[in-house]
Structure 1
Amino acid sequence: MEHYIGTKLIEAEPCPAWKDAGAHRAGEDGYKVRYPDGYESWSPKDVFEGAYLPLTVNHKLKPDRPSISQEMVDDFIASVETVTMGDKTTVVRATLRNGFEIVEASACVSAENYDEELGRQICLEHVKDKVWMLLGFLLQTAVHGVSERSGRSDVHCQTSGLSFGLAIEAMKAGKKVARSGWNGKNQHIELASAISYKSPEGTVVNVEHDAIGNQAVAFCGTSGVQMGWLASQADMLAEDWKIVE
């Protein structure tokens, strides 16, 4: 048989084994597991806790939708090692709960201004940003699966409560999307078609070079003019995107 990596969002609660089964005996510590289709099973405690990550609610977002919280990010970092390289560079190696390692470095211009603790803090922020992304990817896969086709079909049948990934797919399909909390008239983001800027001489210039050009996401405010836009961590992890056109 082939090997597969599986990720699925499930419900579970501590529960003793219901009956003798194989090497497991009734009353053994474990978890009652309920899958999305309603099927229920039992898993031994060590097997379950080695396979599933507890999901804590990010209270800054919708509490009724799956999300990544700062607590999850912090808890997923198992250990941190800090060393000084030379006389002005800090290197941090963070080991995650699954054994994966992230290495970040920070350096200052002058050795006289070097502070290892400050460098450590800067590196840890970068590490946590990467953990946010990795856990967000994991949760996205658990909620929507690994099939691109299943994700794309959601874009056509669902118009609100979208993840950022589905919002991007909607934009690729020519739609305009917005966060539910954006209350300015006609505020939305869309694929760029005419990101422009005004030169010091007052001339409006359309940016069309390879680095930015129109291969980007643009924000449209109340004036309807496209402007460059970058998603925040909250935007990328939010589940309240909606199609507005």
Structure 2
Amino acid sequence: MKKYIGTKMLQATPMSIGDYNKYRGWTIPSNENPNDEGYLVEYEDGYQSWSPKEVFEKAYKECNGMVFGIAVELLKNGFKVARAGWNGKGMFIYYVPGARYEACTDIGASIADEENKVAYEPYLAIKNVKGTVSTWVPSINDCLAEDWNIVD
């Protein structure tokens, strides 16, 4: 078998397997301990399931206090993220996919294609305190931080 790793957004709440079976209107199988701890899990498409506590807690982390690698995956999937210390300042970063933009300088025009457009690679942008946007490159402190959060 091949190994896989996934990144997905979901909602969950602690719930025993017995309570999950009651929630679903199912009879608790005789070979299950109704007190086994776990989580009721709901995925973005509304699908619900139950996960044992140990399995769930090994696979999922709350969407606050994330490491940068998880934040990058979220950025690529269209989320805005920020460091905990940025709270209240209105700052966040987001992913900008590669695209072609109209040349707006002489240098840009010198490298533009036949439609006067310049090809840009994907990059990260930051909406800063002043309300303006610029490109953003993380510092080593940003990369090693474990305080990344999703911005609504």
Q: Which has the larger radius of gyration?
A: 1
Q: Which has the higher contact order (CA 8 A, sep 6+)?
A: 2
